[in-house]
Structure 1
Amino acid sequence: MTRDDAQAILEQLAGPTAQLRDDQWTAIEALVVHRRRALVVQRTGWGKSAVYFIAAKLLRGAGRGATVIVSPLLALMRNQVDAAERAGVHAATINSSNVADWGEIHERVRGGELDVLLVSPERLNNPDFRDQVLPALAKDAGLVVVDEAHCVSDWGHDFRPDYRRIRTLIGELGADVPVLATTATANDRVVEDVATQLGVGGQDTLVLRGGLDRESLRLSVVRAGNPAQRAAWLVAHIDSLPGSGIVYTLTVAQAHDVASLLREQGHEVASYTGSTEAAEREQLEADLLANRVKALIATSALGMGFDKPDLGFVVHLGAPSSPIAYYQQVGRAGRSTASAEVILLPGREDQDVWRYFASVAFPSESMVRNVIHALEPDRPQSTPALEPLVDLGRSRLEMVLKVLDVDGAVRRVKGGWIATGEPWHYDEPRYRRLDDARRREQQAMLDYQATDTCRMAFLRAQLDDPSLRDDERCGRCDNCTGVHVSVDVDESAAEDTRQRLMRPGVELTPRKQWPSGLSKLGLDLSGKIGDGPAPGRAIGRLTDLGWGVRLRQLLSETDREVPDDVVQAAVKVLASWDWTSRPSAVMALDSNTHPLLISSLARSLARLGRLTDLGTLRYAPDRRPVAAANSAYRVAALNGAWVAPGTDVVAAVDGPVLLVDDLSDSGWTLTMAARVVRAAGASAVLPFTVATTS
């Protein structure tokens, strides 16, 4: 194996003009020839993925086993699989979006047909994968790669307990199986933590750590005022930003609100969050890559691994709580352009969001021990079954269970979780250190906003960049150039934005793509959804500061006739709906929990709006669907769930049908029900719900 061999594979990956860097070759040689462990900390765009794909192909050519890459995000996996195919590497991925393919992929692993298997960290504790597939991989792996390794740190970029499980995988490897950990965002503390967690910090470990300056980025901070004023600033300035880009928000609700606001003003944007379905994410990423949208309005779900070399700008409406997270996100911009705009619009309420996320971090010892005591050693209990027994919400409960699993106190098995009976120690000093680190990093973000020194040098210092010189300045940021982005926003425009944000009504974005794998569940549905509903509306989100409390109360009460204030709010939402064609009829959806609320609301809207009342779309006998965690299975459960309405009645309606439900969660109920109503003759279906979860 020579450097020329590695260079040839690189050209397959990145094109004939690509040149292998000396440090890349150093890492590849250490992994392939010397079977060493390596930790590579290099800036975004340096070529970390090229190192492990080249190493993987060279190891396979030498008769070694498949490379296992633990990768945190679906966008990252998709880019990596595409890159592998360009180099002739047979790659597959196991994650939450391709459940129907898992069995086939497992067989390909066992049969030695794959060169690379990309695995989400959550898969490492799936019982079947952990017990049947993982042991063979650990025994025969040619290379193990931990991508975005800062996630291993308890407080690096994100708290992902499943990443701590990688240490177990590495501990079971043969002595001559090389291990590579890579990241672009890690300060000294995170590097030390990663090394400790992965066991790649020994004396024989190769550490390659490069400079983190990004010469194309122009960093600015714009103090534009309250949320409405900042949103108004974005409306006024987004078209002047170069190319297409990303606007980051701190919450899912903000992403949807800002995207709706910009679309109302005629801007081509879309929201992208952790709740966006995998197939739809792929389409949105493709739209941004092809410049079909000006921007994606995104949470941190669009971050690591998304690769658009000519991304022209990154704007943050609200500051992340950590310089590490901020550098990671702004690093998406300007990878192949001479200049890219990076703008932070901080707000006083940012710290409230930080405090909220800190409050739902790892809970107290007493709460954790309640979880352990609620479990039994020989009777598995699911997470939903445990919820009524412990005072923890679903997401925090799942996090606690994962941590306890890593620590050996509980074990995930088929059917749920069991107690192991092993003693468990609450590591209070560690959690105290994490809290201290969190507070220091939050203060660092406040200091970044206030500094009058070079902003890029500030970020590089936070990341302990070894190449940073004393008093170094980038010469590009607002502080270095003295050129500051204007904060001016027309007062009338700011007031108009405030009124738009405060009015009742939330847009329901329809599902656009079928989830993958439906054919394996017996459904001939794939690609774009052509017969689904139009964009809809809800009165408000369950998380809204205004309507949220009222709606949560209403939906938690015993089913009853719709209250007058809810009807009035619904009328206001309908009056402000800028639909292409006004609905002519209204139909209620059948419900297990709120049939009276929904049907009475539909009747009230029919009376007040002079719409034809089509009654209720009833569930078929014995076909009331149960909740399913995976979108493909949700669609399968809802397929054929309703009794089709008479075509003579629906087709006689001259105009769209308003379809009324109590709550929009995943969006699949409204999508599948709309298809039934359209098949009965409706020209269009407009969903309307009392509330939405996002």
Structure 2
Amino acid sequence: MDDNALRELAEERLRALAGPGAVLREDQWTAIHALVARRRRALVVQRTGWGKSAVYFIATALLRQLGEGPTVIVSPLLALMRNQVDAAARAGVHAATINSANTDQWQEVQDRVAAGEVDVLLVSPERLNNPDFRDSVLPSLTASAGLLVVDEAHCISDWGHDFRPDYRRLRTLLTELPPGVPVLATTATANDRVVRDVAEQLGLGAGADAGSDTLVLRGPLDRESLRLSVVRLPTAEARLGWLAERLERLPGSGIIYALTVASADDVAAFLRERGFEVAAYSGRTDPAERQRAEEDLLANRVKALVATSALGMGFDKPDLGFVVHLGAPPSPIAYYQQIGRAGRGVERAEVLLLPGPEDRDIWAYFASLAFPPERVVRQVLDALGDRPLSTAALEPLVELSRTRLEVVLKVLDVDGAVRRVRGGWEATGQPWSYDAERYRRIEQARRVEQQAVLDYLSTDGCRMEFLLRQLDDPHAAPCGRCDNCTGQRPSAEVSDSAAAAARERLLRPGVEIAPRKQWPTGMAAVGVPLSGRIPAGEAAEPGRALGRLTDIGWGNRLRALFAEDDREIPDEVFAACVKVLSAWDWAQRPVGVVTVGSRTRPALVGSFGRRISEVGRLPLLGQVWLGEAPRRANSAQRLAGLVRAEQAPDLSAVDGPVLLVDDQVDTGWTMTVAARLLRRGGARAVLPFALAVTA
């Protein structure tokens, strides 16, 4: 088929996908031609809404017409998969998915692929290293594929703002592709360093016939519909009150981004109280509820979703009218990616950033969860030894939380040091070295990104140009639309009543502390004879805390308190704690107070317990002392440290519940172990009470 005929077929497919007036962009045609006629590997870096999905759907249709196998798309989010299955159907392409949410359909999908009934198979990156999928499905899929597509390809790179270890599995997949299978990678958020990294990785395993060089197509990333502004307000209540007064005037429906789950929940609750149809959306939201929230936003049944970064890649709503950030993300590239959700199909979309003084604390917290030091990673390899272990069995043997342990195992897997097998992980025995220099460079890059965000906030130049230069866009130029270009800045005024309402909501004291119900698995491996369900006679009751460290109300004040040297509890904080106690709907009023012995904040915890004793006219019954536990360790490690030294007052003569007081609850194991001691020492019930919970 000559190029003219091929292009005409491509234009026909585009019109079926996008409407009768649609015409291929030149870079779209260049990419399609490279994939279909030349079977090359290509990286397309284009702004959100440019039409990257049209490239791979049209290329798929043409390759299938030429008798090639199905396209495999590696896609990071279920939301993206749902949207793309619908888009593929418009192009006359039959698509199906294999992901963690439809395991009961895997066999049916595999049978349809084998029968030639599926043109596009979308898989999540996590599936690539699922043992059953990797060993039973992937080899035949790789052998028969007509095209491999890597969506959101910046996730492959360590330098990408949203690097994901599962994506590194693609390096192996690329080397196993048969010669002549074209590969397309797409992203809207890649600077020069990420482009070079991804292009080099795409060249892995490329045969001589295909050419090992990767075609890179980069276009201008400016979005002419976006109006960028920064609004500086002094307090969290001022920011929230300002938003409540202006939300109705923002065009259409949109997204309000928050930096933490707690903030998203608090902001959504406040806006609902003010009469707005909004919903919270985070990684902790139930999957069915998340899908329902996405559908409500797509259908304009809600004014906004109040979301964490969990709502990012893959959400496609062309008429999204605004994006507001309550707090600045730690990377200008991540910020560009998130605001790119807006204004794809409308002439004007508002983009507002309301930074807060707590932003840097939140950045620092997430940075502390980066790849651990070599000593800790070696623990993982040593613990595996010469036998496979499940993640749950491995956890008590290392100083890592479950989430961080899973990341380490995935990185070690890609590096060849461990292998995922059915039921767990095993060491391969292959030599492995800790790339300290790479991790140091990544850490430095993240610090540079954070400074760039601060520079964005303070710049008097064009804001869009600033972001595009962060993405190394050679087309970057003043946009003429942002607050700095036009001199038209949103007013920072907020009424006293709106600020007061926000203050009342944010400083409304009291969050529940859910008691632990199950001991961690594998405790016998660290010499602790605790397992299974915690007996009812040894468990704590549901407790209360003044606030969360991650929220934007009491969280700000409590973080500041904990950052100070040890001191007695401030009057303002204690007064709020009294409100929590007075609103607590306990079955029976406590008859005494016990404090958790503190080695780091004895004055704070001691004064907290003493003042509760005084104001409630309750006897102060003593202290519970536990062993030391490493703060960054996982549940099993913390529990093992706590139970190695236990001392509690005798409560056999106490007739009723006791209030157990501490400064903060992190994993919950300190309160759990202390409550167990007190229950075994005679307490009828234990009611945990703390100043803060960490999540």
TM range (shorter): 0.7 to 0.9
Are 2:471 and 1:463 aligned?
A: yes
Structure 2 partner of 1:144: 148
Picking from 389, 409, 420, the partner of 2:397 is: 389
Letter in 2 for 1:19: V
Superimposed CA distance per residue, residues 595-651 of structure 1 (whole angstroms, 9 cap, x where no aligned partner): xxxxxxxxxxxxxxxxxxxxxxxxxxxxxxxxxxxxxxxxxxxxxxxxxxxxxxxxx
Are 2:415 and 1:407 aligned?
A: yes
Are 2:329 and 1:320 aligned?
A: yes
Q: Please, which runs of 5 or more residues in structure 2 have no aligned partner?
A: 514-542, 560-575, 589-664, 668-688
Are 2:432 and 1:424 aligned?
A: yes
Structure 1 partner of 2:570: none
Letter in 1 for 2:454: L
Letter in 2 for 1:493: A
Q: 1:138 to 1:119 in 2, by over 3 A?
A: same
Picking from 314, 338, 341, the partner of 2:350 is: 341
Provide the C-alpha distance between the structure 2 equivalents of 1:51 and 1:692, rounded to a whole number of angstroms.
48
Contact kept, 8 Å, 2:200 with 2:214, in 1: the verdict is: no
Superimposed CA distance per residue, residues 239-274 of structure 1 (whole angstroms, 9 cap, x where no aligned partner): 111111000011111111110011011111001111
* 1:567 to partner: Cα distance: 11
Contact kept, 8 Å, 1:539 with 1:573, in 2: the verdict is: no
Structure 1 partner of 2:441: 433
Structure 2 partner of 1:569: 580
Are 2:313 and 1:309 aligned?
A: no
* 1:47 to partner: Cα distance: 0.4
Contact kept, 8 Å, 1:227 with 1:347, in 2: the verdict is: yes
Picking from 177, 183, 191, the partner of 1:179 is: 183
Structure 1 partner of 2:498: 493
What secondary structure is seen at the aligned counterpart in 2 of 1:296? strand
Provide the C-alpha distance between the structure 2 equivalents of 1:331 and 1:258, rounded to a whole number of angstroms.
22
What secondary structure is seen at the aligned counterpart in 2 of 1:335? coil
Structure 2 partner of 1:504: 509
Aligned positions of 1:445-594 closer than 5 A: 445-468=453-476, 472-505=477-510, 569=580, 572=583
Picking from 6, 11, 19, the partner of 2:10 is: 6
* 1:130 to partner: Cα distance: 0.6
Provide the C-alpha distance between the structure 2 equivalents of 1:23 and 1:45, rounded to a whole number of angstroms.
14
Picking from 33, 37, 50, the partner of 2:37 is: 33
Structure 2 partner of 1:91: 95
Letter in 2 for 1:264: E
* 1:424 to partner: Cα distance: 0.8
Q: 1:110 to 1:572 in 2, by over 3 A?
A: same
TM value normalised by structure 2: 0.73
Q: 1:544 to 1:218 in 2, by over 3 A?
A: closer
Provide the C-alpha distance between the structure 2 equivalents of 1:356 and 1:567, rounded to a whole number of angstroms.
29
Superimposed CA distance per residue, residues 462-510 of structure 1 (whole angstroms, 9 cap, x where no aligned partner): 1111222xxx3211100011111111112343233122112134599xx
Letter in 1 for 2:441: R
Contact kept, 8 Å, 2:323 with 2:352, in 1: the verdict is: yes
Picking from 252, 270, 283, the partner of 2:261 is: 252
Deviates more, 1:355-364 or 1:95-104: 95-104
Structure 1 partner of 2:26: 22
TM value normalised by structure 1: 0.74
* 1:332 to partner: Cα distance: 0.8
Contact kept, 8 Å, 2:267 with 2:306, in 1: the verdict is: yes
Provide the C-alpha distance between the structure 1 equivalents of 2:239 and 2:346, rounded to a whole number of angstroms.
27
Letter in 2 for 1:5: L
Provide the C-alpha distance between the structure 1 equivalents of 2:308 and 2:550, rounded to a whole number of angstroms.
17
Contact kept, 8 Å, 2:242 with 2:498, in 1: the verdict is: no
Structure 2 partner of 1:653: none
What secondary structure is seen at the aligned counterpart in 2 of 1:145? strand
Letter in 1 for 2:344: R
* 1:571 to partner: Cα distance: 5.8
Aligned positions of 1:252-291 closer than 5 A: 252-291=261-300
Q: 1:435 to 1:692 in 2, by over 3 A?
A: closer
Q: Percent identity?
A: 68
Letter in 2 for 1:477: C
Contact kept, 8 Å, 1:504 with 1:573, in 2: the verdict is: no
Superimposed CA distance per residue, residues 509-553 of structure 1 (whole angstroms, 9 cap, x where no aligned partner): xxxxxxxxxxxxxxxxxxxxxxxxxxxx9877776676999xxxx
Contact kept, 8 Å, 2:331 with 2:449, in 1: the verdict is: yes
Provide the C-alpha distance between the structure 2 equivalents of 1:542 and 1:425, rounded to a whole number of angstroms.
39
Provide the C-alpha distance between the structure 2 equivalents of 1:541 and 1:385, rounded to a whole number of angstroms.
33
Letter in 2 for 1:319: A
Picking from 65, 77, 83, the partner of 1:61 is: 65
Letter in 2 for 1:149: A
Structure 1 partner of 2:616: none
Provide the C-alpha distance between the structure 1 equivalents of 2:504 and 2:142, rounded to a whole number of angstroms.
58
* 1:570 to partner: Cα distance: 7.0
Contact kept, 8 Å, 2:544 with 2:580, in 1: the verdict is: no
Letter in 1 for 2:399: D
Structure 2 partner of 1:226: 235
What secondary structure is seen at the aligned counterpart in 2 of 1:243? coil
Provide the C-alpha distance between the structure 2 equivalents of 1:507 and 1:44, rounded to a whole number of angstroms.
41
Contact kept, 8 Å, 2:11 with 2:23, in 1: the verdict is: yes
Letter in 1 for 2:125: P
* 1:415 to partner: Cα distance: 0.6
* 1:96 to partner: Cα distance: 2.1
Q: 1:570 to 1:338 in 2, by over 3 A?
A: same
* 1:568 to partner: Cα distance: 7.6
Letter in 2 for 1:501: L
Q: 1:265 to 1:22 in 2, by over 3 A?
A: same
Are 2:355 and 1:355 aligned?
A: no
Deviates more, 1:244-253 or 1:101-110: 101-110
Provide the C-alpha distance between the structure 1 equivalents of 2:172 and 2:163, rounded to a whole number of angstroms.
18
* 1:103 to partner: Cα distance: 2.7
Aligned positions of 1:577-656 closer than 5 A: none
Provide the C-alpha distance between the structure 2 equivalents of 1:276 and 1:82, rounded to a whole number of angstroms.
24
Shift >4 Å, 4+ stretches: 200-203, 505-508, 537-549, 565-568, 689-694
Letter in 2 for 1:497: A
Contact kept, 8 Å, 2:41 with 2:202, in 1: the verdict is: no
Aligned positions of 1:93-172 closer than 5 A: 93-172=97-176
Tell which structure's C-alpha radius of gyration is larger.
2
Contact kept, 8 Å, 1:380 with 1:414, in 2: the verdict is: no
What secondary structure is seen at the aligned counterpart in 2 of 1:266? coil
Q: 1:542 to 1:136 in 2, by over 3 A?
A: farther
Structure 2 partner of 1:668: none
What secondary structure is seen at the aligned counterpart in 2 of 1:418? strand
What secondary structure is seen at the aligned counterpart in 1 of 2:344? coil
Structure 1 partner of 2:56: 52
Provide the C-alpha distance between the structure 2 equivalents of 1:543 and 1:61, rounded to a whole number of angstroms.
57
Contact kept, 8 Å, 1:89 with 1:116, in 2: the verdict is: yes
Q: 1:253 to 1:402 in 2, by over 3 A?
A: same
RMSD over aligned CA atoms reads 2.8
Structure 1 partner of 2:339: 330
What secondary structure is seen at the aligned counterpart in 1 of 2:177? coil
What secondary structure is seen at the aligned counterpart in 1 of 2:352? strand
Letter in 1 for 2:498: A
Provide the C-alpha distance between the structure 2 equivalents of 1:236 and 1:257, rounded to a whole number of angstroms.
17
Contact kept, 8 Å, 1:538 with 1:692, in 2: the verdict is: no
What secondary structure is seen at the aligned counterpart in 2 of 1:43? coil
* 1:99 to partner: Cα distance: 2.4
Q: 1:248 to 1:140 in 2, by over 3 A?
A: same
Q: 1:136 to 1:280 in 2, by over 3 A?
A: same
* 1:297 to partner: Cα distance: 0.3
Provide the C-alpha distance between the structure 2 equivalents of 1:412 and 1:566, rounded to a whole number of angstroms.
48
